[in-house]
Structure 1
Amino acid sequence: MDKLTSTQILEAGLDDWRQLAQGIHARFRTGSFTKGLRFLTAVTEAAEAANHHPDVTLTYPHVDLLLISHDVGALTSRDVDLARTISSIAAEHGLKPQPGALAEVDLALDTAAPAAAGPFWAALLTGDASNVRGEDVVDPSGRVPLLWFQETDSHETPRQRFHLDVWVPHDVAGERIAAAVAAGGVVVDDSQAPSFTVLADGEGNRACVCTALER
């Protein structure tokens, strides 16, 4: 299957879905656990028919879904097709999409030796030192955030070495950045926006607001 670019995903017109760090995501408000379960039963039937399956999280007020073609580690037409089907099912069930509520957090560690650091962090975070893909630590169960390593020069501590990458929908990033600034933060670097914008809190601790655009 051909991997799709972020531009192709945007042009697909998936209004209920947003691309974040890993795949495309959607949230549908159900208002009750029972409605969510009925919705997911219909989604399961569609997924079985397509032989392609989303990751799902069912809670009392909403259902979260993630689509990605795991066999190629990217988004493909299978994800777009199933996303459209799921949106149709949600509409049939009277469920409201909430794309503005979506977010995803990755951990980033500055290190001069990413290859050496990977197995340690994989063992610590997932219990298995082999859970390294490239130079990223990935939890197959999805219980902990992805950890990636940003190469840097060797340096003495103290210096902030961990930072959060907060992935939000591209049409929410400006609002999220403005809220962080209004809460006492500052914009450190927006030269790579909308791909990412570097922010800092009042003590200088940094984080990035990231989107799938221009990647």
Structure 2
Amino acid sequence: MRFVTSSFVAGARFAQAVGEAIGDRTPELRIGSAYVDVSCRDQSTADRISALAVEHGLTAEPTAVAQLEIGLDTADPAEIGPFWAAVLTGSTDSFTGSDVIDPTGRVANLWFQGTTPHEPLRQRFHLDLWLAPEVVPARIEAAIAAGGKVVYDEEAPMFIVLADPQGNKVCLCTSEGR
């Protein structure tokens, strides 16, 4: 979540309060001149951080939240995972068996979606864009206005698949329903 701050110093104070309040839960924080971005893995920690933000007079800005992941369809992740880890992060150690995760956070995560072997090859890459749930409807509307279409929404709100005019796909993903 992004929280709007009045200054870098206010953001640093909030970050310190988060660290003191949640202990070893280790969220990721990024402080800018007028914001603090916070991401964490569990809902109770997120709720506590949101409460701290209110106590510090900060405003949540869900439209500023986005995280891009790249999915690669493959029948054999073990065959190609080390290559992608080496290319993206410089080390095959970044391949987890199902994902390539850059420990520095500089490169988007690459995950491997299982598929059956097939010829000819189908689409291999697709994008997963993680957004705040309340932002998704506006993104869909904008994508449709730009010539795209919804091609799959049976698992909404977890994710909705859109395609561009040439059929290239992107999944708009949220934490809802997971």
Distance in 2 (alpha carbons) for counterparts of 1:206 and 1:83: 30
Give the corresponding residue for 1:83: 46
TM-aligned CA distance change 1:87 to 1:196, over 3 Å:
closer
Give the corresponding residue for 1:27: 2
TM-score between both structures, scaled by the size of structure 2: 0.87
Give the corresponding residue for 1:198: 161
Which of 119, 123, 127 is residue 155 of structure 1 equivalent to? 119
TM-score between both structures, scaled by the size of structure 1: 0.73
Q: Which runs of 5+ in 1 are unaligned?
A: 1-25, 69-74
Shift of 1:55: 0.8
Distance in 2 (alpha carbons) for counterparts of 1:41 and 1:212: 26
Give the corresponding residue for 1:93: 56
Give the corresponding residue for 1:41: 16
Deviations 1:131-184 (CA, angstroms, capped at 9, x unpaired): 222311112222212111122333346x53211011112232222212211122
Matched length: 177
Residue identity (%): 49
Shift of 1:118: 0.8
On the 8 A contact 2:102/2:109 being kept in 1, the answer is yes
Deviations 1:99-121 (CA, angstroms, capped at 9, x unpaired): 23322111011223212111111
Give the corresponding residue for 1:164: 127
**Residue identity matched to 1:121:** W
On the 8 A contact 2:5/2:59 being kept in 1, the answer is yes
Distance in 1 (alpha carbons) for counterparts of 2:47 and 2:11: 18
Give the corresponding residue for 1:64: 37
On the 8 A contact 2:18/2:52 being kept in 1, the answer is yes
Q: SS state of the match for residue 181, structure 1?
A: helix
Q: 1:114 aligned to 2:69? A: no
Runs of 4 or more above 6 Å deviation: none
**Residue identity matched to 2:37:** D
Structure number with higher helix proportion? 2
